[in-house]
Chains A and B, each alone.
Chain A
Amino acid sequence: MRDAPAISYEQLLNWLRFIDEGLIEQRGFLTELDAAIGDGDHGTNLARGAGAASSKVDAEQPEYLDELFKLVGMTLVSSVGGASGPLYGTFFLRLATGVGHRQELTPEQLADGLEAGLGGVVERGKPEPGDKTMYDAMAPAVRAFRAGISSGDVASASRSAADAAAEGRNATADMVARKGRASYLGDRSVGHIDPGAASVALMFEALAAALA
């Protein structure tokens, strides 16, 4: 059997760039979502973090993917704040460990990395499905990516991951928040999309664009 075509360093760098651009574009939208059920700083905090990560990457130009994702993770941890900082920071730090010391990845290796990242989020935030958190978008997306690469190419797998994340994001509107500041609203949180799930959907949309 031939090896699956590799996912290049360039493509994954594009992923990070697209996340950064998406956050700048959707900063207002994410902040609006957060103002409704949180403290209204999600868009601003993430955009600041992604901007800081891009600058670091440009300055240090890490050679290997684990170094790249580790740099992103550490920068997010120290620049985002709130709960999103440690959650997204942990995602990228675990992604770094998960993909290993490589300059390109097979689809399976990227799936391993995404699963490791998701595992880190679970460990850090201890979410249950349906708690109305970023997990509700991230878990279906990571599952869809893994399923996608076993039956198709990486472009279609990342497309279905993005679709699953968007669906998961939309489903959070009907959920009652059980984690974070929104949980103090109880039933009053219903009817609002979780901002963390929305930023996860953005992240997987960026992945689909980068791997298209």
Chain B
Amino acid sequence: MSATGRRQRRGAGLALLAVPVVFLAIFFVWPVGTIFATGFAPDGDLELGVVGRVIGDPAVRSVAWFTLWQAAASTALTLLVGLPGAYALARMEFRGRSLLQAGVTIPFVLPTVVVGSAFLALLGPRSPINTALTTVLGDAAPTLDLRRTVVAILVAHVFFNYAVVVRTVGGLWSLLDPRLEDAARVLGASRWRAFREVSLPLLRPAIASAAAIVFLFTFTSFGVVLILGGPGRATIEVEIHRATTQLLDLPLASALAVLQLIAVLASLLVYGRLQRRAPTQPLVGATTTRRPPRSAGERWFLRGNLVVVAALLASPLLVLVERSLTTADGYGLANWRALLTDDRATVLAVPAGEAVRNSLLFGLSATLIALVVGGLAATAATSRDGRLSRIVDRGLMVPLGTSAVTIGFGFLIALDRPPLDLRGSPLLVPIAQALIATPFVVRTLLPVLRSIDERLRDAAAVLGASPRRIWREVDLPIVGRAALVAAGFSFAIAVGEFGATVFVARANLPTMPVAIFRLLGRPGVANFGQAMAMSTLLMVVTASAILAIDRLRVGQVGRF
């Protein structure tokens, strides 16, 4: 291509980038910058003492310590439970396997508030666990109440991130040549030794990256800890929320957010380093490495994993549904009816049904914004200009690493005064949600766009198509399906978004997660029941969006 042509192309790429760049500048850089400004210069003058004071504060230290150790413990536990599951799903063939594979992904995409509600229901005094204990032991049975304990937080985190391990490690495991372990076995290694000496080292990159992701997610955990934790069991995220809404100490919240940002960026760097050092793997081609379990030991191993999935992944969700149908006098639809008809509006300031409507409207708007911003950015990133493409790639990933709470908090303190006073604007919610969803849109579209053979575009151009026409006739049809996937993803994220939304949603425009949180904060069986019903509804909405995507992408969910 001529130099002029290249310059033109770069010009076109930059033009496409204008929208995402402006969007990010206003809604990411500005708020985060304001956080830094508030943290370092609360009164307009640079005052590094604030950060020092925050770090020196024993209360903050204990929060930071708790955040760190619960994340480490959650990561270790998730690996412990997830690795056998990854093996079972990657290497064993059994009836219902592909359905189960899709099913274990659902917890990962469920809104944190739903997960919190589900574990409140499962671990509370009125849970089926206690019912069973009472049935077996009579009145002497101890009542198990694990709400507001570390155990609840850890278990919920394992529930959430099980799929990360199964997908990341299992993905590599299913491609690893099984004859390597065979070779080790014939050479005299026991089954365990063959795993330890051959498979484990080869899986290490995948295990490390799964661990890094789980650590990042649990380190920035907000909704789950807010609902299931308690005094002395708060993460930095929860503490930012408390400092903002209860202590009204914005400098403290800002300093905590800065601390959080630094920790997240550091772990992202480590993650990137790990990814780059991955060695070449002896991968099998398209042939499957799965086979039915053959020995009794293998069958018990499989059963054990199915029990874990049932107990850990399925039971909280089932109990959630059960509790949504439990009323003061036996089973019934009272909670559900209340959702639609109850307009006492005591707790929520609005009828519960309106929260559902708000969520859907906000979710659709956020999806639209994320698709436009992410779509333009991804298109710009596919330009032949390698440097531009890399910058977009990296630049858009920064919001991905930034916690939702940081974004929500940044919105709260940055967009409430001139030049940009959006206080009270209902637009803030979908914009915040879109900001969180955009990196996922880019991640989904970019590989597909990049995979389009450049010669197809060249062919279209030679046949007389203008650049715009090429995009419409070549790129769009190919990308259409990926765009649908991205839309479904964005919608699921937006509808379930809690961390940012809880900061910016107006009292009279709550979304479903916000409404659930408020209902859970109020005493009374009716409020709890309604929270369960709305959580169930939210679970169904997000899970359907995700299952629809899965069907689009692989086309084999439910086929066995």
**Same complex origin of A and B:** no
User: Which residues of B line the A interface, CB within 8 A?
Assistant: none
B-contacting residues of A (Cβ < 8 Å)? none
